[in-house]
Amino acid sequence: MLITLRSRKSLFSGLVNQEVYNFLATAAAKYGVGFWKPGSGIIHQIILENYAYPGVMLIGTDSHTPNGGGLGAICIGVGGADAVDVMAGIPWELKCPKVIGVRLTGTLSGWTSPKDVILKVAGILTVKGGTGAIVEYHGPGVDSISCTGMATICNMGAEIGATTSVFPYNHRMRTYMEKTGRGEIASVADQFKDDLVPDKDCEYDQVIEINLSELKPHINGPFTPDLAHPVSEIGAIAKKSGWPLEVKVGLIGSCTNSSYEDMGRAASLAKQALDKGLKCKAQFTVTPGSEQIRATIERDGYAKILSDVGGIVLANACGPCIGQWDRRDVKKGEKNTIVTSFNRNFTARNDANPATHAFVTSPEIVTALALAGTLNFNPETDYLTAPNGEKFKLEPPTGEELPSRDFDPGQDTYQHPPAENSAVKVDVSPSSNRLQLLEPFDKWHGKDLEDMRILIKVKGKCTTDHISAAGPWLKFRGHLDNISNNLLIGAVNIENDAVNKVKNQLTGEYGGVPDVARHYKASGVNWVVVGDENYGEGSSREHAALEPRHLGGRAIIVKSFARIHETNLKKQGLLPLTFANPNDYDKIRPDDKISITGLKSFAPGKPLTAMIKHSDGSQESISLNHTFNETQIEWFKAGSALNRMKELQ
């Protein structure tokens, strides 16, 4: 078992976050598990470098856990409460997924990269097209993709809602395991290679065909990772759509694209520019995904090349990808464009600025656009201008798949489990504003939920970033009451098209969403949230379920849910419910009262009923579906999955 923390490795960060590190280190020691200390890198890369292997099934508390599919592993992202179940020896449940096959033919070459495969698939399937399905890549084109390239594709499969993504075992995986000290596992995988590939004549629920020889570089966005465009067309599309053409910042790295190969291909472009005396016109940042990658690219000169061209090498961490970016080059609300090699580009995700147009692409395209300083640049056909006026075209990027001198592990950042842990005390200060021990949620009172207020009726896309913002809020991840002050502050209120402005039905005044929720709770009033399609897509952020429960929420009623978020809500004793008729969403008014009936006979497959009481005195009844099984109903009755675990002790 391992525990990791995504962090910025700096003296300032160490001082600011020391109490959090102490808590994690002591908790790991207390329970006899290993701990990857700050500076280790991003968990998905740590897994790929150290733990994943063909055929293993692994769950992790992040939606990009499927990164391990690049090594033929079934790695599935779950909520933290699901992981607690597994650690406690309780069976983990998942509705049997469908299987979407993506058949790859041809060969990757030139400017086209593994990232373009998933950018293309995202454009085909959209952000919810993979929901309830495993995506299995297969076909002769697979062998032209590196192991870390396959990991990139599987990593971003989270953006189509897929349960996970996986590649068949091949020689690329064997070589990667040998280079990362797992040669013995590679030998065993070779023995069972026929069991680690698709069965002959297997059938898929859906098949997508992609010819890698014909695939062109893509760039997706803004504001959603499934809005796919060929790079050759993005300039014209941006002009027509009114998106800013100037690229303010290019950002490469993150858990999706910070492999040795990624950094090498980006550095090959940077070297071409430097040879002509040219540096990046846009700001340029580089985020290594692990200490091993950081140390290796420094040893092999990639880091210096990327720095010389204008790049800033950041800490081994998620960094700007999840909003840990103290951006100061534009003011909040200022319209601007950034391009990244990350996986998500939801509104305000990277820099907390809702006017930032974020585009997702490969590291090599990010580098090219940062050099050009504009979206209106196709590196396959367009020319750059050197300081002496010479026009030149970038040659297609090149880079070694793996370092010829093997990886440099860098600093040793792993804390081994102690031989004796009986005297270890978990370090949590009762006066901390960063850490807070959880108190049990209240049990269901055994009656129907009557006359609940609507906290907010959400309009359109509502990701876990909208429900529980990241960025500066992440410092409160260990303190439920403090982080609950970001509840739904990014969601759009259908009543007024505003964010973080809802009417308090008890006072008649408008206030912030968490403020109104706290007032309802203090007044003994239960409340619900009403939402649209694919509610809770994005990060597997458990706080997006903890916060509404903590502030008095009882039910989330939507047209449809993203998989992980729906389970997270169940774990916390909330009722995630869907309209039997999606058009019933339109019947609910922000000033209604809602009663949910049928809870005394709550059973799997049996719909519940919502009685809607309008302010004009009229009433109407609608049917609500759910996906609770018997065990999950016990969670609801007990108040949460943790409460139920305690009852069973």
Is 11 a residue whose pLDDT tops 80? no
Is 288 a residue whose pLDDT tops 60? yes
Is 16 a residue whose pLDDT tops 80? no
The pLDDT of residue 229 is 98
The pLDDT of residue 92 is 86
Nearest to 249 by CA among 149, 315, 321: 321
Tens-place pLDDT, residues 462-507 = 999 999 998 889 899 999 999 999 999 999 999 999 999 999 999 9
Three-state SS annotation for 406-440? CCCCCCCCEECCCCCCCCCCCCCCCCCCCECCCCC
Give the residue, 334 or 539, on which the prediction is more confident.
Answer: 334
Q: Rounded to an integer, what distance in angstroms lies between the CA atom of residue 62 and that of residue 242? A: 34
Q: Are 81 and 544 in contact (CB under 8 A)?
A: no
Q: Are 508 and 495 in contact (CB under 8 A)?
A: no
Q: What does the DSSP 8-state code read for residue 364?
A: H
Instruction: Please tell me the pTM assigned to this model.
Output: 0.84
Average pLDDT, the chain: 94
The pLDDT of residue 14 is 52
| 237 contact partners, CB below 8 Å, separation of at least 6 | 229, 243
Mean pLDDT over 188-206 rounds to: 95
Q: What's the pLDDT band for 119 if we cut at 50, 70, 90?
A: very high
The CATH number of domain 51-215 is 2.30.110.10:
no
Cα–Cα distances (Å) from 639 to 220, 471, 554, 557, in that order, read 41, 30, 10, 18
The pLDDT of residue 182 is 95
Is 527 a residue whose pLDDT tops 60? yes
Mean pLDDT over 409-424 rounds to: 93
Tens-place pLDDT, residues 289-299 = 999 999 999 99
The pLDDT of residue 93 is 83
Fold agreement between 51-215 and 219-382: no
Q: What does the DSSP 8-state code read for residue 531?
A: -
Q: Rounded to an integer, what distance in angstroms lies between the CA atom of residue 528 and that of residue 574? A: 10
Is 45 a residue whose pLDDT tops 60? yes
Is the bond preceding residue 66 a cis peptide, omega within 30 degrees? no
The pLDDT of residue 15 is 60
Q: Are 40 and 413 in contact (CB under 8 A)?
A: yes
Q: What's the pLDDT band for 8 if we cut at 50, 70, 90?
A: very low
**Domain residue ranges of the chain, discontinuous segments joined by +:** 1-38, 51-215, 219-382, 449-648
Locus of tokens 């594709």: 153
Is 147 a residue whose pLDDT tops 70? yes
Is 339 a residue whose pLDDT tops 90? yes
Q: Give the CATH number of domain 219-382.
A: 3.30.499.10
The pLDDT of residue 471 is 83
Classify domain 449-648 at the CATH superfamily level.
Aconitase, domain 4 (3.20.19.10)
Q: Are 436 and 481 in contact (CB under 8 A)?
A: yes
Is 6 a residue whose pLDDT tops 90? no
Tens-place pLDDT, residues 157-181 = 999 999 999 999 999 999 999 999 9
Q: Rounded to an integer, what distance in angstroms lies between the CA atom of residue 31 and that of residue 434? A: 22
DSSP string, 259-296: SHHHHHHHHHHHHHHHHTT---SSEEEEE-SBHHHHHH
The pLDDT of residue 1 is 42
